[in-house]
Amino acid sequence: MAATGAPEVTAGLGPPGPAAAGLRLRPVPGLRSLNGGTVLLGGYPYRMLRLGPAGAAHVARWWAGEPVATSPGAQTLARRLLETGIALPVPSGGPGPEQVTVVIPVRDRTAELALCLDGLRAPQPAPRVLVVDDGSRDPAAVAAVAAAAGAACLHRPVNGGPAAARNTGLAAVDTPLVAFLDSDCVPGPGWLDGLLPHFADPVVAGVAPRIVPYEPSDRTEIKGLLRGWLPRYEGVSSTLDMGAVPSIVRPGAKVSYVPGAALVLRAGPARAAGGFAEHMPVGEDVDFVWRLAGSGWQLRYEPAATVAHQHRVRLGGWFARRMDYGTSAAPLELRHPGTLPAVAMSGWTAAAWAAAAIGPAPAGPAGGLAITTAATALLARRLAPLTGDQTWPVAIRLAAGGTGAAGRLLGSTLTRAWWPLAVPVAVAVPRLRLPLAALALAPPVLGWAERRPPMDPVRYAGARLLDDVAYSLGVWRGCLRHRTARPLLPKLTWRAPAGAGGPARPAASDPSGGS
């Protein structure tokens, strides 16, 4: 592994082949089954999967709790269901903590490091722990904290950033699994229990837990942490929190990436993939995860397992970090073309919203409705041979859901990428001010209604818009630096795929956080 520079996107590093025999599956929430189980509607992006009678029988048995059989056909179908997000694994077995080495990159933050190391003492047998001091100004203090916790310590004489420190630790690991933890993470007892069973499936190269806000046992300290609007907002909208829904991890999935702040990996595939890109100050974890997924390995997000994190709650540092995350969009899009458009959705849906927003009332909304109706009819025509008398109810449900989700997605894109263009347009064209304002405000208002954070909707919406502005400034800065506009451009599909009228595929434009 090179000490510096960018690892090339690798090929041919895939897993040892599908081996799902004995694995148990469960349907993703909201999955619909039609025509005796031969048609499945679900997954992410929403899609339709057609099965033969034998395949439908396999799936029915799996939903009833039977394990996947040893036949190649059953194993191939099971893998297909997992990769499309139609099925979720029910993991069991797997390695123990003694087969894990925890690597903690750190620079100077000895107090945070001590808290992190203290949280690693609970499992018995405990995993090995390796602290990588990434050029601290006081390396003796870092070494003392590591020694007090019984952890080994490697010292890098020059600061190289998180990617370089993780690569140093990865090169020194001699266990089958490596768990990367940032020094401001606070793992709790049993934090590995929900992650390690996933490695019973040999095609899984990595699993990430859900990252939640750190809550100290001292109630006075908790009250201090929650004082002010920013800690309250960050507690429910952290860019590190991938949400409550388990998912396969790859571009276009429900969870398109996971942060490197807490990530458990097979050490061999991680090394074969070239490690983390040391030339990337941010987004290096997203790039690494996508390279692993692109080489054939499967990565999973398991929100039932959690790791606490000490979030940034000072406005200046928080805003600057959000901008830093935005700068990663351009280099990531250049390394993984097509994965980070400003927005990705059906062209029909985008055209309907554009007509409704741009056209004068009542012609504009009427035009949008006409486009949606035409797209629904096309979708129904394609679904008819498979869905029978359920064709129109299914098509209408998919089209309505897709149109609503697309409107919310366009609103997010407006504030996270396009506002430098939208503001002058709104100033120049008065009749567009209300539609653009409504689009911009819809995502934070809906987000508040869904999450019910411990803050009023006005403060939450203001914090969300400030978050978006910071990120978008970073996106534009990165585009200028790398001389590309690709993260600012939409990606539209005009063919009406079965199920594409459903919830629109979300933009993969934010490698640092959710909506």
Is residue 66 a part of any domain in this protein?
A: yes
Query: What span, in angstroms and rounded, lies between the C-alpha atoms of 270 and 144?
Result: 29
Q: What is the pLDDT along the chain (515 residues), one digit of tens a residue?
A: 333 333 333 333 455 555 467 889 999 988 988 888 888 988 887 788 889 999 999 999 999 999 998 888 888 899 889 888 899 999 988 999 999 999 999 999 999 999 999 999 865 677 899 999 999 999 999 999 999 999 999 999 999 999 999 999 999 999 999 999 999 999 988 899 999 999 999 889 999 999 999 987 655 444 444 468 898 999 898 999 999 999 999 998 889 999 999 999 999 999 999 999 999 999 999 999 999 999 989 999 999 999 999 988 889 999 999 999 999 999 999 999 999 999 988 888 888 888 887 777 666 778 888 888 888 888 888 878 777 778 888 888 777 777 888 888 899 999 999 999 999 999 999 988 988 999 999 999 999 999 888 899 999 999 999 999 999 999 999 999 999 999 999 998 876 443 333 333 323 333 333 33
Q: Following DSSP, what letter does each residue of 260-294 receive, concatenated?
A: TTEEEEEHHHHHHTT---TT-SSSHHHHHHHHHHH
Strand order in the sheet with 32-34: 32-34, 39-42, 47-50
Is residue 283 a part of any domain in this protein?
A: yes
Task: Kindly state the tokens that stand for 116.
Answer: 């992190």
**Closest C-alpha among 189, 413, 194, 181 to residue 310:** 181
What's CA 397's distance to the chain center, in Å? 26
Both 139 and 278 in one domain: the answer is yes
H/E element, 450: helix 433-451
Both 489 and 358 in one domain: the answer is yes
Question: How many CA atoms lie within 13 Å of 56's alpha carbon, on the beta-carbon side?
Answer: 14
Quick check: 190 and 122 in contact, CB under 8 A?
A: yes
* Sole residue written with tokens 């033969």: 52
What pTM, to 2 d.p., does this model score? 0.87
Both 239 and 127 in one domain: the answer is yes
Both 233 and 85 in one domain: the answer is no
Is residue 359 a part of any domain in this protein?
A: yes
Query: What span, in angstroms and rounded, lies between the C-alpha atoms of 201 and 92?
Result: 9
Quick check: 444 and 465 in contact, CB under 8 A?
A: yes
Both 426 and 482 in one domain: the answer is yes
Task: Kindly state the tokens that stand for 342.
Answer: 């400003």
266 - beta bridge partners? 177
What's CA 341's distance to the chain center, in Å? 15
Both 297 and 355 in one domain: the answer is no
The predicted structure's pLDDT at residue 222: 47
Both 435 and 459 in one domain: the answer is yes
**Closest C-alpha among 45, 37, 123, 68 to residue 349:** 45
Both 265 and 375 in one domain: the answer is no
Q: Quick one: how many helices (H) and strands (E) in the chain?
A: 17, 16
Task: Kindly state the tokens that stand for 104.
Answer: 């903690």
Both 188 and 288 in one domain: the answer is yes
* Sole residue written with tokens 């390279």: 291
Is residue 8 a part of any domain in this protein?
A: no
The predicted structure's pLDDT at residue 102: 97
CATH number at residue 308: 3.90.550.10
Residue 453: how many other CB atoms lie within 10 Å: 19
The predicted structure's pLDDT at residue 15: 59
Is residue 204 a part of any domain in this protein?
A: yes
Map 376-433 to HEC letters.
Answer: HHHHHHHHHHHHHHHHHHHHHHHHHHHHHHHHHHHHHHHHHHHHHHHHHHHHHCHHHH
Listed residues 90, 110, 139: the one ending a domain:
90
Quick check: 420 and 476 in contact, CB under 8 A?
A: yes
**Closest C-alpha among 177, 171, 169, 176 to residue 151:** 169
Is residue 498 a part of any domain in this protein?
A: no
Is residue 321 a part of any domain in this protein?
A: no
H/E element, 177: strand 177-181
Quick check: 69 and 21 in contact, CB under 8 A?
A: yes
Number of domains in the chain: 3
Query: What span, in angstroms and rounded, lies between the C-alpha atoms of 79 and 87?
Result: 9
Both 105 and 83 in one domain: the answer is no
Is residue 16 a part of any domain in this protein?
A: no
Length of the chain in terms of residues written: 515
Quick check: 164 and 86 in contact, CB under 8 A?
A: no
Instruction: Give the amino acid at 223.
Output: K
Both 480 and 367 in one domain: the answer is yes
Domain span at residue 81? 24-90
Query: What span, in angstroms and rounded, lies between the C-alpha atoms of 373 and 379?
Result: 10
Both 134 and 274 in one domain: the answer is yes
